[in-house]
Structure 1
Amino acid sequence: MRRLTLASAGFLALLSGPASAADVGAGLPMTAPGFDWTGYYAGLQAGYGWGQSDITGTGGGAFSSPDIDGGFVGGHIAGLWQFDQAVIGAEAELNYSSIDGTAEPEPGNVFGTDIKWFGSMNAKAGYAMNRVLVYGIGGVAFAGVETSQAAGPAFSNTRTNVGWTVGAGVDYALTDKFVVGAQYRYYDFGSEHYDGSNGFTDRDQDVKLNTVGINLSYKF
């Protein structure tokens, strides 16, 4: 929780960047004629994710590595500032996820990983060509990840993982208010420790995820 609180504070500072940058850069050349990307945005995104979860015992012994995949849907907010053709800003996203997978290293012993939700708080920088914006994005990532095992009796435990993300995308302004886009992201949610129960061994789980998605945003 402390890590998420610190990350949230950092994002709020980033999101205030467009307004602060506007004050500092009052004397700089502003956007060229055409669509102006400066503003605040809110919208929705959806897509598909795939990756892998490495589950190991506390003593370091490998348990299993389930492949994971599935869909997600969520929302985002952003603040951008443009000068000339450069665009900088901040963006936050939160997604509901059905990304999961299982592996059965031996008959009757099934390991599972389920990403129930994930999100991120990011810095964003890009190059605008009138209504087209090509950008890179990256920041702090977090997810609610469940680890499970069924070997006769069943065990499951959910923790909040915190890691990092990086990606790239392209946005297109359909009108002065509506923007559509596509994005690729890589997430490394890091390794989290899970306590076993009912005879199940304590374990660590390391989750990595790739996503591709589309987005629709409204500019205020």
Structure 2
Amino acid sequence: MRRLTFASTGFLVLMCGSAFAADIGADVPMTAPGFDWTGYYAGLQAGYGWGQSDISGTEGAPFSITPDIDGGFVGGHVAGLWQFDQAVLGAEAELNYSSIDGTTESGLGSTFGTDIKWFGSVNAKAGYAVDRLLVYGIGGVAFAGIETSQVAGPAFASTRTNIGWTLGAGVDYALTDKFVVGAQYRYYDFGSEHYDVAEPFNDRDQDVKLNTVGINLSYKF
């Protein structure tokens, strides 16, 4: 009888313990939480750019010529991101060294050139996160050091700082909790800048637009 009582008591304790464990287990997540994009980042980017430069005379005989430009770039960036559920908001700044340039020859034999020495931007960034994957849009104020040049026997070159805007989109993937890789497309409109040049050349306006595709590697602090 005593053995039966102990056995019955043990069975009841076991059943109650199992039920309690099952109840606790229902409230405890079975998997670790997803990647959190909130944080500060710094990294490098590199890519290829192509676009067009519209050069038009503002004195003397009117002229208009359009060199195509292309080339590579490499640079760095810093960013801060904050995640709210699956929405990610933040800001990013970039600065790039560039070898994007191009020349074209006019009907009179002069060679006109455009050379983007460097460019960068300060941006707002907004995206949608699915664990370690982030798809985003980006845009803001863009700036660049752009040279205009002409060779017609004699030659000249002059560099000014252009200010415009940029818009783009990209995708990032967190390889680890610290390292993020990504790809991005950007469109830059650096606006029109006026160049006063010495004789025998004519003053001119130069309007530069640029497309870029690039890859990036970031470290999350």
Match runs of 1:55-204 below 5 Å? 55-59=55-59, 61-106=62-107, 108-204=109-205
Counterpart residue type for residue 169 of structure 2: A
Q: Percent identity?
A: 84
Q: Distance in 2 between matches of 1:176 and 1:65?
A: 47
Say which SS state the counterpart of residue 143 (structure 2) adopts. strand
Q: How does 1:5-84 map to 2 (within 5 A)?
A: 33-59=33-59, 61-84=62-85
**Could you tell me which amino acid in structure 2 is paired with residue 132 of structure 1?**
L
TM-score for both structures, normalised by structure 1: 0.84
AA paired with 2:170? G
Structure 1: runs of 5 or more not aligned: 1-31
Q: Which runs of 5+ in 2 are unaligned?
A: 1-31
Tell me, yes or no, if the aligned pair for 1:79 and 1:91 is still in contact at 8 Å: yes
Q: Distance in 2 between matches of 1:62 and 1:190?
A: 19
Over alpha carbons, which structure has the higher Rg?
2
Moved more, 84-93 or 60-69: 60-69
C-alpha distance in 2, partners of 1:169/1:205?
29
TM-score by length of 2: 0.84
How many Å separate the matches in 2 of 1:195 and 1:120? 26
Residues 132-161 of structure 1: per-residue CA shift (max 9 Å, x gap): 000000000000000000000001100000
How far does residue 107 in structure 1 lie from its aligned partner after superposition? 5.3
Alpha carbon RMSD of aligned pairs, Å?
1.3
Question: Hey, which bits of structure 1, 4+ residues long, moved more than 2 A?
Answer: 59-63
CA distance in 1, matches of 2:102, 2:84: 45
Distance in 2 of aligned mates of 1:76 and 1:141:
14
Q: Give SS of 2:106's match.
A: strand
Say whether the 8 Å CA contact 1:108–1:152 is kept in structure 2.
Answer: no
- Residue 48 of structure 1: SS of its match in structure 2? strand
Q: Secondary structure at the match of 1:199?
A: coil
